[in-house]
Structure 1
């Protein structure tokens, strides 16, 4: 998913859009549901290649947003790691709160969380 500009709003919008796509991806959701042991390796034990790529991309965007002034100070990689944890949790567990938060509400709340975490 290409970046749509620099700054916290563009970064959060991009993260939320990726999360929505992953929640709708048949392969990703199939692994979470039918191969939980495999999924747990990448949830609780180690970062996979895709996660490393996402961390690097988000850290780079966070650094640019810090320079622009819309993201708080802090180590960009650490902030990116926390964004990954928040977003992964939303992807993994969204279905258990579906009666409370439909897909649109879940996306809105994820955006609210990430904006609050990253704002100066």
Structure 2
């Protein structure tokens, strides 16, 4: 699955977006290790110094690229929300759809396949900006649903973090649990059951 905003007909929203688009293309074509700021500048059609004035190294650029990519996934899922559905069903559906879109995202797949160490800091050392966004959205949804009695009592901040930790496993490790005995769709259904029962009063 391609990025939700990137296709051949779409123009970058700003020069910075154009530079990030060029970096994204580089990583998809070459992988992280072979991508340099010089190559990003070449593909973006600008001088090397133009890129260096924005990012001092590739790790800073990658952090901004991943934040933009994952934030788009999350916000697109939010935009598809149907407020007429029950709160728990809505929240579980958004979490599951976010997991599935991330697992199919071509940049995410490329990074995990070639350079999985790039995601390790966000699993072992610190939360990233897109993770903070997800936590904030989930926590607010939980507070609203608790106020209406649709979600069990509890600390919404801790509950949000528990849900996101659960989702991490389905994003990063689901493929290790799919085989002739358990299909991807069966695993997706189990994820829905786990998340739903974690929220029900």
What is residue 82 of structure 2 aligned with on the other side?
4
In 2: Cα distance, 1:74 partner to 1:57 partner: 17
Q: Identify which range, 39-48 or 28-37, moves more after superposition.
A: 28-37
Offset of 1:68 from its aligned partner?
Answer: 1.7
Offset of 1:118 from its aligned partner?
Answer: 1.2
What is residue 107 of structure 2 aligned with on the other side?
27
Structure 2 residue 105 is the aligned partner of structure 1 residue 46: no
> Normalised by the size of structure 1, how large is the TM-score?
0.92
* 1:61-72 matches, cutoff 5 A: 61-72=141-152
Q: Identify which range, 18-27 or 47-56, moves more after superposition.
A: 18-27
In 2: Cα distance, 1:15 partner to 1:4 partner: 14
Offset of 1:33 from its aligned partner?
Answer: 2.4
In 1: Cα distance, 2:187 partner to 2:97 partner: 11
By relative contact order (CA 8 Å, sep 6+), the higher-ranking structure is 1
Offset of 1:39 from its aligned partner?
Answer: 0.9
Q: What is the number of residues matched between the two proteins? A: 120
Structure 2 residue 195 is the aligned partner of structure 1 residue 114: yes
Equivalent of 1:86, from 161, 166, 172?
Answer: 166
> SS of 2:119's equivalent?
helix
In 1: Cα distance, 2:125 partner to 2:102 partner: 20
Pair member with larger Rg:
2
Give a deviation string over 1:63-107, Cα, whole Å, max 9, x none. Answer: 111112121111111111000000011110011011143222121
More helix by share: 1
In 2: Cα distance, 1:106 partner to 1:94 partner: 8
In 2: Cα distance, 1:55 partner to 1:14 partner: 13
In 1: Cα distance, 2:149 partner to 2:156 partner: 13
RMSD of aligned residue pairs (Cα, Å): 1.3
Q: Identify which range, 22-31 or 49-58, moves more after superposition.
A: 22-31
